Homo-oligomer: A and B are copies of this chain.
């Protein structure tokens, strides 16, 4: 995990994001849980302490975080978009039994056939059964 953020508000400012109450809470959720949540997971939990929170705000905020490159999108499943505040290169494994997503370290592989291409994003996804579910 690349980060150790003790002041979320400052971290957002550093990345050109005005730290509203909702934005701070949403980012805190991401770095506290590190569970690669869906919009719905974030919304359901934060709505408990922020009763006025709307899903639109969660969508808006995550979109902003992605634009500012402090959050990446995980498209490991076709019916749910997940988010990760760890933007360093690492792989994601999804267990199709417990649906948990695990991070794993992986060396950047050597890529053929893409001479002259400009690559900005790398995603390495695995699926299977995790140790605990076997």
Chain A positions within 8 Å of B, measured between CB atoms, are 73, 75-78, 81, 91, 93, 95-96, 102-131, 134
**A116 near B93: Cβ-Cβ < 8 Å:** no
Q: Which residues of B sit under 8 angstroms from A96, Cβ to Cβ?
A: 120
A104 to chain B, nearest CB (A): 4
CB distance from A105 to the nearest CB of B (A): 4
* Identical subunits present: 2
Interchain CB contact under 8 A, A104 and B111: yes
In this complex, the member of A93, A96, A126 whose beta carbon has the largest number of chain B beta carbons within 10 angstroms is A126
| Contact present for A105 and B116 (CB under 8 Å) | no
CB-defined contacts of A105 to chain B, threshold 8 Å? 111-113
Please give 5 more A-B residue pairs, beta carbons under 8 A apart, in addition to A96-B120, A124-B125: A75-B76, A102-B113, A104-B111, A106-B110, A107-B110
